[in-house]
Chains A and B, each alone.
Chain A
């Protein structure tokens, strides 16, 4: 009972771990190799400024990746995260402009995001639709709501108090708050996913839902709450974006879901459920981000960038598929 506080993984044994850690080690090697290669290609690459910029660029998305990974493990998927990030931003921004203080406005923004998750959870567990279709519908509906609320024009929020903007723009002894928040969220959920009983049920449900039911696990509840969690984290990311940009754009976050799902899958999450780690997903995100940054420094046209990222995703998934086939 007390032993687990020390040495998060002293025994080094956890389950999924052996395969997963292989994958994670592989990703780290690839990322390091890319970084070294890039440091020769561009003198700007290996600078703290560039790293900070890279970290900043994926920190906020990284929070969404955490929720998506857990949802993938339970066997779901959420295409609406980009819209929900935007919705949270737009709702908080509009409430602030209507006179609410930004902190309360943000809490409400996160709250309504959670409600969207709850609505999707309802359709998935009670009505019995699948995650893909439900979240596809939510993606379109929520995006529509963003446009309705803003009447299609960006909300300018330069009047946000500095204390609030600091979340997105300030730093603590040179370390941006954005990165601190990101690291804290990742650390908490990575730990919980490995160690907490409640999250173990997520793995059982994703691995074999029927067997989980036959073990007395309320799989519908599990799926419901994981769906809510994913949307809530997207909502959190939304208000941080608002603090960072000092604006709320109704088209923000379109296409973000693809990047996020790609990161989780590159990091080892299976679309069939039952496997995945937060650490791996973050490494997947880091890889995509290093690639983007490299392509920019190498002056590769933006038109090529998406294509290259797509190829990386395909390669990662193919390797995974091949490894699985070899095993069985």
Chain B
């Protein structure tokens, strides 16, 4: 088959100062295919997308559209060529409404003198409803991070494009929304639109895509039809070694230690009510549920980041008086935010300073001065363990790839000695190899007696990592699954509320 590819990359290179993000890579996209692009964190996937979308300029190499070499000096130029990109990082106008954001690109292209708001709202709602019923008159700042991701995708769908590039679109989505997105993407493919799809989740790549290209360390490795490849094969090409055990061993039954964290009757008078939760030393508790079910809100309220209207939080048997988050941190209770860019990292500060932000006291000498050698040592140690790809620990976090930024955020949680860590989507955007490492670290921490709560939208992670999973539905605990009952279907059933009678019985038993 020698049909000209709709998009072709030849010998493309890009360096950021001393960091070579891409060296002489190639890539070829056929008409009407879904093409997966894989690689570890920092392999250069987003950099390539940004160059095709006109956000960055290549140092060397060619971009060909329909067989003719083009230069793409700006995002507007990319739009004119029929190229649309859903960025990995959410870049919406926080103060504008969903509708205004969705049509921002289109409005810009159309140059109509006046805006017809009624039509705008109606059209935007139509596009939005394809993905999720988010009211388009809401301000973006009021949406959860996953809903913002959906708005970001809807925005690309309004553009009349030939090539659609999705950079980790499902990182913030749960199973249900992801499936919906796949349906839409398949529909686009059937209409002849070509799709580049970046993801770290092997399962979705293998169910959705036609071909797969792997990058490693900024170099092109291989392109294969999905039918002739396997997840193990892809992982080997990505990481350069075999990964044998994806998830660490779980606790032996009946092993969990003393009661560490106990939450009773917690309500916030708005998003959730009457939440009970118990965590024992040494176990990893998973929390699942659909987007908007209130998982993050519950976690944030436990830690004092949001106000509670009733309920108690007890750590190690003593009821805590948490007025704000620093009280929680002092007591040994920490929370990793799901919103990496908004509240997770300090983008314009160095990596070392990001890692140490949570407990400066530990690094402070008697004179109130910061021990920078200790700070460096800590950052070097943790970034090495998590495999952060960076120029050095004094590089700004904004120069890291998305997954590597996430690793820095995790490094910060691991830098202190907490009693309980609550992690909200800890491995969002993290590659397969690093994920294994983070899971192993969490298991080691748990073995040392730290209580760990993992909120995750990724079912395999909940099932593979956690000893026990609680599922939240519409602000209430819908049920709990022990190690032997864990399964994708069981979680989905609880999360969506279908057939829940038997589970309610189970929950009653658990409470008793």
Chain A interface residues (CB < 8 Å from chain B) = 1-4, 11, 13-18, 195-198, 200-201, 203-204, 207-208, 210-218, 274-275, 328
The A-contacting residues of B in range 299-354, CB under 8 angstroms, are 305, 324-326, 328-330, 334-335, 337, 342-350, 352-353
Is the beta-carbon distance between B371 and A1 smaller than 8 angstroms?
A: yes
Is the beta-carbon distance between B343 and A208 smaller than 8 angstroms?
A: yes
Is the beta-carbon distance between B358 and A207 smaller than 8 angstroms?
A: no
Name the 4 nearest CB pairs between A and B, nearest first. Answer: A216-B329, A1-B365, A15-B350, A210-B343
- Measured between alpha carbons, how far is A215 from B335 in the docked complex, in Å? 9
Chain A: which residue is nearest B394 at the CB level?
A: A13
B366 at the interface (CB under 8 A from A): yes
The A-contacting residues of B in range 380-427, CB under 8 angstroms, are 394, 398, 412
Chain A: which residue is nearest B399 at the CB level?
A: A327
Chain B interface residues (CB < 8 Å from chain A) = 305, 324-326, 328-330, 334-335, 337, 342-350, 352-353, 357-361, 363-373, 376, 394, 398, 412
Min CB–CB distance A3 → chain B (angstroms): 6
Contact of B328 among A4, A208, A216 (CB under 8 A): A216
Is the beta-carbon distance between B346 and A211 smaller than 8 angstroms?
A: yes
Min CB–CB distance B423 → chain A (angstroms): 13
How many A-B residue pairs lie within 8 Å, measured between CB atoms? 102
Q: List 13 other contacts, CB 8 Å, given A1-B366, A17-B394, A203-B349.
A: A14-B372, A15-B349, A196-B369, A197-B369, A200-B353, A200-B360, A204-B353, A211-B346, A214-B325, A214-B335, A216-B326, A216-B330, A218-B324
In this complex, the member of A11, A215, A274 whose beta carbon has the largest number of chain B beta carbons within 10 angstroms is: A215
- Measured between alpha carbons, how far is A16 from B346 in the docked complex, in Å? 12
Contacts of A195 in B (CB 8 A): 369-370, 372
Contact of A215 among B363, B369, B394, B412 (CB under 8 A): B412
Contacts of A211 in B (CB 8 A): 337, 342-346, 357
Is the beta-carbon distance between B370 and A197 smaller than 8 angstroms?
A: yes
- Measured between alpha carbons, how far is A304 from B160 in the docked complex, in Å? 55
Q: Identify 10 residue pairs between A and B in the complex whose beta-carbon atoms are under 8 Å apart, listed by A's number.
A: A11-B372, A15-B350, A16-B350, A208-B346, A211-B343, A212-B346, A217-B326, A218-B324, A218-B326, A275-B348
Is the beta-carbon distance between A213 and B394 smaller than 8 angstroms?
A: no
Contacts of A217 in B (CB 8 A): 326, 357
Min CB–CB distance B14 → chain A (angstroms): 14
Min CB–CB distance B6 → chain A (angstroms): 29
Is the beta-carbon distance between A208 and B347 smaller than 8 angstroms?
A: yes
Contact of A216 among B350, B352, B358, B370 (CB under 8 A): B358
- Measured between alpha carbons, how far is A2 from B366 in the docked complex, in Å? 9
Contact of A274 among B349, B361, B370, B373 (CB under 8 A): B349
Given the known inter-chain contacts A13-B376, A15-B349, A197-B370, please indicate yes or no for A4 contacting B365, CB distance below 8 A: yes
Min CB–CB distance B446 → chain A (angstroms): 22
Is the beta-carbon distance between A214 and B370 smaller than 8 angstroms?
A: no
Contacts of B412 in A (CB 8 A): 215
- Measured between alpha carbons, how far is A214 from B347 in the docked complex, in Å? 14
Contacts of A216 in B (CB 8 A): 325-326, 328-330, 334, 358-359
Contacts of B345 in A (CB 8 A): 208, 211
Contacts of A213 in B (CB 8 A): 305, 325, 343
Min CB–CB distance B328 → chain A (angstroms): 7
Is the beta-carbon distance between A212 and B353 smaller than 8 angstroms?
A: no
- Measured between alpha carbons, how far is A2 from B346 in the docked complex, in Å? 28
Min CB–CB distance A229 → chain B (angstroms): 15
In this complex, the member of B325, B335, B348, B394 whose beta carbon has the largest number of chain A beta carbons within 10 angstroms is: B348
Given the known inter-chain contacts A18-B394, A197-B364, A214-B335, please indicate yes or no for A4 contacting B372, CB distance below 8 A: yes
Is the beta-carbon distance between B350 and A4 smaller than 8 angstroms?
A: no
- Measured between alpha carbons, how far is A320 from B24 in the docked complex, in Å? 32
Chain B: which residue is nearest A15 at the CB level?
A: B350
Contacts of A4 in B (CB 8 A): 365, 367, 369-372
Is the beta-carbon distance between A3 and B346 smaller than 8 angstroms?
A: no
- Measured between alpha carbons, how far is A43 from B329 in the docked complex, in Å? 63
Contacts of B365 in A (CB 8 A): 1-2, 4
Min CB–CB distance B299 → chain A (angstroms): 12
- Measured between alpha carbons, how far is A207 from B348 in the docked complex, in Å? 7
- Measured between alpha carbons, how far is A214 from B326 in the docked complex, in Å? 9
Chain A: which residue is nearest B365 at the CB level?
A: A1
Contacts of B350 in A (CB 8 A): 15-16
Contact of B353 among A196, A203, A218 (CB under 8 A): A203
Contacts of A11 in B (CB 8 A): 372-373, 376
Is the beta-carbon distance between A204 and B346 smaller than 8 angstroms?
A: yes
Min CB–CB distance B384 → chain A (angstroms): 17
- Measured between alpha carbons, how far is A212 from B328 in the docked complex, in Å? 14
- Measured between alpha carbons, how far is A208 from B357 in the docked complex, in Å? 12
- Measured between alpha carbons, how far is A135 from B369 in the docked complex, in Å? 31
Min CB–CB distance A219 → chain B (angstroms): 10
In this complex, the member of B330, B352, B373, B412 whose beta carbon has the largest number of chain A beta carbons within 10 angstroms is: B373
Is the beta-carbon distance between B357 and A212 smaller than 8 angstroms?
A: yes
Is the beta-carbon distance between A3 and B360 smaller than 8 angstroms?
A: no
Contact of A328 among B357, B364, B398 (CB under 8 A): B398
Min CB–CB distance A311 → chain B (angstroms): 28
Chain B: which residue is nearest A11 at the CB level?
A: B372
Min CB–CB distance B277 → chain A (angstroms): 21
Is the beta-carbon distance between A3 and B363 smaller than 8 angstroms?
A: no
In this complex, the member of B330, B345, B366 whose beta carbon has the largest number of chain A beta carbons within 10 angstroms is: B345
Chain A: which residue is nearest B366 at the CB level?
A: A1
In this complex, the member of A3, A210, A216 whose beta carbon has the largest number of chain B beta carbons within 10 angstroms is: A216
Chain B: which residue is nearest A209 at the CB level?
A: B343
Is the beta-carbon distance between A197 and B360 smaller than 8 angstroms?
A: yes
- Measured between alpha carbons, how far is A210 from B341 in the docked complex, in Å? 10
Chain A: which residue is nearest B335 at the CB level?
A: A214
Contacts of B328 in A (CB 8 A): 216
Chain B: which residue is nearest A274 at the CB level?
A: B348
Is the beta-carbon distance between B370 and A196 smaller than 8 angstroms?
A: yes
Min CB–CB distance A94 → chain B (angstroms): 37
Given the known inter-chain contacts A208-B343, A216-B329, A217-B357, please indicate yes or no for A197 contacting B368, CB distance below 8 A: yes
In this complex, the member of A197, A198, A200, A211 whose beta carbon has the largest number of chain B beta carbons within 10 angstroms is: A211
Contacts of A328 in B (CB 8 A): 398
Min CB–CB distance B148 → chain A (angstroms): 15
- Measured between alpha carbons, how far is A13 from B376 in the docked complex, in Å? 10
Is the beta-carbon distance between B373 and A15 smaller than 8 angstroms?
A: no
Contacts of B361 in A (CB 8 A): 197
Min CB–CB distance A7 → chain B (angstroms): 11
Chain B: which residue is nearest A17 at the CB level?
A: B394
Contacts of B376 in A (CB 8 A): 11, 13
- Measured between alpha carbons, how far is A274 from B334 in the docked complex, in Å? 24
Min CB–CB distance A205 → chain B (angstroms): 10
Contacts of A200 in B (CB 8 A): 353, 360, 370
Contact of B358 among A18, A203, A215 (CB under 8 A): A215
Chain B: which residue is nearest A191 at the CB level?
A: B369
Contacts of B358 in A (CB 8 A): 215-216
Contacts of A208 in B (CB 8 A): 343, 345-347
Min CB–CB distance A87 → chain B (angstroms): 31
Is the beta-carbon distance between B329 and A197 smaller than 8 angstroms?
A: no
Contact of B368 among A2, A16, A196 (CB under 8 A): A196
